[in-house]
Amino acid sequence: MKVPTALGARFPKLRRARLDGSVGVTAPARSDRRTKNLTKRLRPGEIAIIDHVDIDRVSAEALVNCGAAAVLNVASSISGRYPNLGPQLILAAGIPLVDDVDPEVFARVREGEELRLEGGTLYRGDEVLAKGVEQDAASIEAAMAEARAGLSVQLEAFAANTMEYLKRERELLIDGIGVPDIRTRIEGRHVLIVVRGYHYREDIAALRSYIREYRPVIIGVDGGADALMEAGYRPDIIVGDFDSVSDKALTCGAELVVHAYRDGRAPGLQRVTDLGRDAIVFPATGTSEDVAMMLADDAGASLIVAVGTHATLEEFLDKGRAGMASTFLTRLRVGSKLVDAKGVSRLYRSRISPWTLLAMVAASLLTIVVAAYSSPAGQVYLNFLAARWDAFLYWFTGLGS
């Protein structure tokens, strides 16, 4: 498998080609069974060791953005349940991907120690620590084709899961019973919900004119709050279980809504309390992005614009079947209020473009000049300005004499 030139330039000392054409990586290694936790401390050029069945697109993008030198997965990156998008993104970035690695690797590898990966084998010096199956474009495409063939089974499971979720949450979904009151005024306003998901950076950048003109209420969902602050915006509300949001975001002054389990347990509440902040607790079975949408809808939002959320069938499947039902039904509940950010950025145009504004200013100046030349009062004023200009030039030239 060839490594793209751009990526190879990023880690020139970490990789070397072997005689058989494959790529070897020598770099520090970091491991965590939760990809989300690992990406918080993974540094560019390090080997990532994870335990992640069906790597989704968001996790893959996080690994790529961290600059992983290689990814070793104890589980299968594509199990065949559905055509998940993550492995293709990892390989497209030129990052070696090794599947089905010996689970004992977590006990054998010390955090940050320098190891060597060649093919599907991980070495400490000459000692073999673990072996796995190195993936390439052909093997991933074959696994994706097999997963697509069994897609109907997943859709049937999704339908059953949806009915089960509807039975548990029908009062919340249909009548809005259980949605807490918030201090932030939303009634009649646009709401922008940002999830650190698919193409969130590009979508936020494309919406700058829209945000500037409509000034929507901005809701960050967990790490979406940090994404907003990176883009120069302060969220009005932050919703989530707060396991992937920074202390800086939580203390920025936004209203905090902790997404709790249905039985009332809210692990994120303790973190908020430790920071000296107050928070509203919202118990719900769905995901945090679903909670944010229901919160905005119940508070009377006139339009909800979603950034980084799930919109297509592939994205719903990539999210995992357990979380699909809540998102699907929440979108049905919100209905026509919900617009994807890509749709807004394609249809929206600022009412007054910068070039139009510049043309109006130029036309106004031209009108003033013409009026000044054509009227007696204007002639007097121009003569006065000319005299003042001559006086200034006389004074200025006198400074050098």
Query: What is the model's pLDDT at position 185?
Result: 95
Q: Are residues 310 and 247 in the same domain?
A: yes
Which residue pairs, CB below 8 angstroms and at least 24 apart, start in 116-119? 116/24, 116/25, 116/26, 117/24, 117/25, 117/26, 117/27, 117/47, 117/70, 117/72, 118/18, 118/22, 118/24, 118/25, 119/22
Higher pLDDT, 231 or 15: 231
Return d(Cα 12, Cα 5) in angstroms, integer: 10
Q: Are residues 143 and 155 in the same domain?
A: no
Residue 241 lies in a domain: yes
Phi, psi for 349 (deg, rounded to 5) = -135, 135
Of the spans 83-87, 351-355, 383-387, which averages the highest pLDDT? 83-87
Query: What is the model's pLDDT at position 254?
Result: 96
Last residue in a domain, options 120, 148, 176? 148
User: Can you give the residue range of the structural domain that contains 245?
Assistant: 151-347
Find the largest Cα–Cα distance for the chain: 97
Q: Are residues 159 and 307 in the same domain?
A: yes
Instruction: Reply yes or no on whether the pLDDT at 391 is more than 70.
Output: yes
Higher pLDDT, 185 or 197: 185
Q: Are residues 235 and 201 in the same domain?
A: yes
Total number of domains constituting the chain: 3
Please, what is the average pLDDT of the chain? 82
Residue 401 lies in a domain: no
Residue 399 lies in a domain: no
Q: Are residues 268 and 172 in the same domain?
A: yes
Last residue in a domain, options 114, 132, 148? 148
List pLDDT tens digits, range 20-71: 444 589 999 999 999 988 998 999 999 999 999 999 888 898 999 999 999 9
List pLDDT tens digits, range 322-331: 556 676 777 7
Could you tell me the pLDDT band of residue 80, with boundaries at 50, 70 and 90?
confident
Could you tell me the pLDDT band of residue 401, with boundaries at 50, 70 and 90?
low
Q: What is the pTM of this model?
A: 0.61
Could you tell me the pLDDT band of residue 5, with boundaries at 50, 70 and 90?
very low
Phi, psi for 245 (deg, rounded to 5) = -125, 145
Crossing angle of helices 376-399 and 354-374, rounded to 10°: 100
| 199 SS3 class | coil
Return d(Cα 154, Cα 367) in angstroms, integer: 68
Q: How many CA atoms lie within 13 A of 323 on its CB side?
A: 14
Could you tell me the pLDDT band of residue 94, with boundaries at 50, 70 and 90?
very high
Residues 156, 317 contacting (CB under 8 angstroms) = no
Instruction: Reply yes or no on whether the pLDDT at 19 is more than 60.
Output: no
Could you tell me the pLDDT band of residue 230, with boundaries at 50, 70 and 90?
very high
DSSP H helix total and E strand total for the chain: 18, 16
CB atoms within 10 A of CB 155: 15
Q: Are residues 218 and 286 in the same domain?
A: yes
Residues 217, 190 contacting (CB under 8 angstroms) = yes
Return d(Cα 390, Cα 394) in angstroms, integer: 6
Segment 352-371 mean pLDDT: 73
Q: Are residues 299 and 166 in the same domain?
A: yes
Higher pLDDT, 239 or 342: 239
Q: Are residues 293 and 319 in the same domain?
A: yes
Q: Return the CATH number at 15.
A: 3.50.30.10
Q: Are residues 306 and 166 in the same domain?
A: yes
Segment 169-187 mean pLDDT: 78
Query: What is the model's pLDDT at position 317?
Result: 62
Q: Are residues 284 and 377 in the same domain?
A: no
Q: Are residues 155 and 120 in the same domain?
A: no
Q: Are residues 226 and 127 in the same domain?
A: no
Percent of the chain with pLDDT over 90: 46
